[in-house]
Structure formats: structure tokens, C-alpha cells
A = this chain, B = another copy of it.
Amino acid sequence: MNRIQRALEALVDRIDTPAPIVLADVMQDNIERMQAFANQHSLDVRPHVKTHKCVEIGRRQVKAGAIGITAGNVGEAEVFAAAGFDDIFIAYPVWPSGTKGLRIRKLAVTTQLRIGVDNVAAIDAIADAMGSEADRLQVVIEVDCGARRSGAPPEVAGDLALAARNRGLVPVGVFTYPGHGSSSPDARKRAALDQDAALTTAVRSLTAAGITAEVISAGSTPTVEFSTSSVITEIRPGEYVFNDLNNTRLGACTQEQIALFVAGTVVSDWVPDQVILDIGTKALGREGSPERGYGSIAGTTGVLSKLNEYHGFLPLPPGGFRPGIGTVLPVVPNHVCPVVVNFEEYIVTDSTGTTLERWPVDARGFLN
């Protein structure tokens, strides 16, 4: 029996399922291990809060040594700013649609706010929104390092930084996200090398434009182990706080370092070689594939093969383990980030399962 199974066994009579359960001791170890790694390599940690969206967890990250937080959108930044976080980087190429320009301006004058930009149109629109207070907003130029998602080519970073400065904004550095490092264990190191190269080029581009890159910011839980080159000043991992099966498969964590699972109950068992759990896409998201499945039962070889909204299909080998109706099982997600938007609160315990607290998912639903 592993620690997730032990914790669940101790808790089981006290929870309504489905419920996301956090092992606070495992989470704390994850936070401290990442911080120690960063300290060893003289990197600042700016954890991405999209993974947990929880003020209490953000506080623990800062207490452990994080210099601030990373947010994915203005709404997340507002929730954490309202809770007292005063150093926030929205690592996203924000476009100030609707009231977002005003919201950014309001945040920028009350906290140290940085936002990502990767194009001149957004720089202009954000500068327009900031008006006379443009110098309260720091911008970080996003460059692409091979993920082919957002981010300018590294060699134009200086031009963008200059465009921002010319509009009164304060360019402070560059960032990138090596998303192509999540495709396989081998891809992690290659993506981290791409990241080094892109950031190095981007910093040179800023220098050539006469702008100092104080912040040179890198991803991500799967690649951070290889993100230790001298060019990088800051890392923005998110998933490490909980970990998940994807990171286990990539070699970025061990099974014992997974700090979140979703508890679900067997509710129907009429189909031979299958039981149905009360965990569907509205708890796990549809992260996975028919081949890999959509989440695993901790401590077993069982994998959810299919999800409906409120139903999870668990195939069972003939003659093997067959949990009865009412049995509560721990499901470990493939990808932990989409889980949190589905729930009002975390059930927080530890590996012994004796304690039970409820922490709100404060920034859930704040998507813009």
C-alpha cells in the first residue's frame, strides 16, 4: 500500500466524492526540493499558480523562498494581489480586451506587476491603457524557443523592448516556455538547450538595443532540471507542487512525489470486467488518450479507459481485483492543472490521512 492509499484509507469516511485530495507533507517536500534546487543553481523561483489557484499554497511557496508568483491571466493576478501577493508576473502575451486594460492599470499601481508581450500591437494597446502610469508596468518580452506557440523570434526581442520603452513602459527582460520538452523524456534536455539558445540570443538583442535584461525567465516542471545555464535568472515551474502521471512518465518526478489525487467512489458494477466511478471529465478534464487512459488508480495497474462527464470507466482484468460498490478509490491525474478548475476546494491531509482541512481554490473560474 502506498502513501496515497494509506491516506485515503484513513480519510475515507469523512469525504464526499469526487474530491481532490492534497497530501500537504508531500506538497511541502516538493516545494522545498524545488527551492533547494534553485538555490543550488542561483535561480529565483517564481512558481506558476495556474496549477493550484490557491492562496494558501502560494503563501507556502513564497515562505519557502519564491520571489513572487507567475499568473496565467489578469484574473489570477487579481485574486493573488487581493490576498497580499505583491510581486506578480503574468507570463502571457496579454491583449487588453474589454476592461482588461483598466484592470491591468489598477493592478500595476498597487503591486509590482510584470506582464508578457510578444508584439508591438499589444505594447501599444497596453501603453494606451496605462496612460500616464505606463512607468508603473514592467514588461517582459516573450520569445519562442521551439514550442511554436507564443513568443517572438529571439532576435527581435530588443526591438520589442525598445518599442515598450518608447511608449513609457519598463522593459525588464525576456522569458520563454520550452513546451516542446513535454513530448518525451529525451525531449526535456533538448528543449532546455533550445531554451538556453533562445534566451541567450534574446538577451544579446536587448543589450544591442541598450536595454539591460534583469530578468531572464525559463519554464517549466519537466525541463527545469536542465534549466541551469548561467543565462537564466528565474524559473517558473507550476506542476511540481503537485506533480502528476505525465511528469512521472517524463522522468520529472517519482510516483511518491505525487501530492494530489482525486477520490472517487464505485457507483455501478453491472458490466463484466468493468466498474464505474463517480469521476468524469468534470473532475479530471479529458487529459490523456484512449491508449494511455485518463488517470490511474494509485497503487494498482488500473487505468480509467473512458470518461463521460460524471462517469469514469475502469476496466478490470478477469479474475483480478474487483472493488465493490461504495469502494472509494484514489485516481491520479495524467495532467494535474485542469483538475483544480473543477472544484470549490481542496481536501488537505497528509500521508497519514489523520488531518483534514479545506482550502478554497481561490482563483478558480478567473480565466480572463
Q: A97-B326, A151-B268 are in contact. Are A179 and B285 (CB under 8 A)?
A: no
Are A125 and B326 in contact (CB-based, < 8 A)? yes
Contact with B along A90-124 (1 / 0, CB 8 A): 00111101111001000000000000001101100
Chain B residues near A291 (CB, 8 Å)? Answer: none
The total of chain A residues at the interface (CB under 8 A) is 71
Contact with B along A342-363 (1 / 0, CB 8 A): 1110000000000000000100
Are A17 and B98 in contact (CB-based, < 8 A)? yes
A17 vs chain B, min Cβ distance (A): 5
At the interface, is chain A mostly helix, strand, loop or mixed? loop
A60 interface contact, C-beta 8 A: no
A127 interface contact, C-beta 8 A: no
A367 interface contact, C-beta 8 A: yes
Max count, chain B CB within 10 A of own CB: residue among A151, A265, A368: A368
Chain B residues near A73 (CB, 8 Å)? Answer: 278, 310
Alpha-carbon distance A337/B281, docked complex (angstroms)? 10
Each complex incorporates copies of this chain amounting to 2
Are B93 and A150 in contact (CB-based, < 8 A)? no
Are B368 and A149 in contact (CB-based, < 8 A)? no
Max count, chain B CB within 10 A of own CB: residue among A18, A92, A150, A265: A150
Are B365 and A343 in contact (CB-based, < 8 A)? yes
Chain B residues near A368 (CB, 8 Å)? Answer: 16-19, 278
Q: List 15 A-B contacts (CB under 8 A).
A: A16-B98, A16-B99, A16-B103, A17-B95, A17-B98, A92-B267, A95-B267, A119-B325, A144-B271, A149-B271, A150-B268, A152-B270, A285-B285, A286-B338, A364-B365
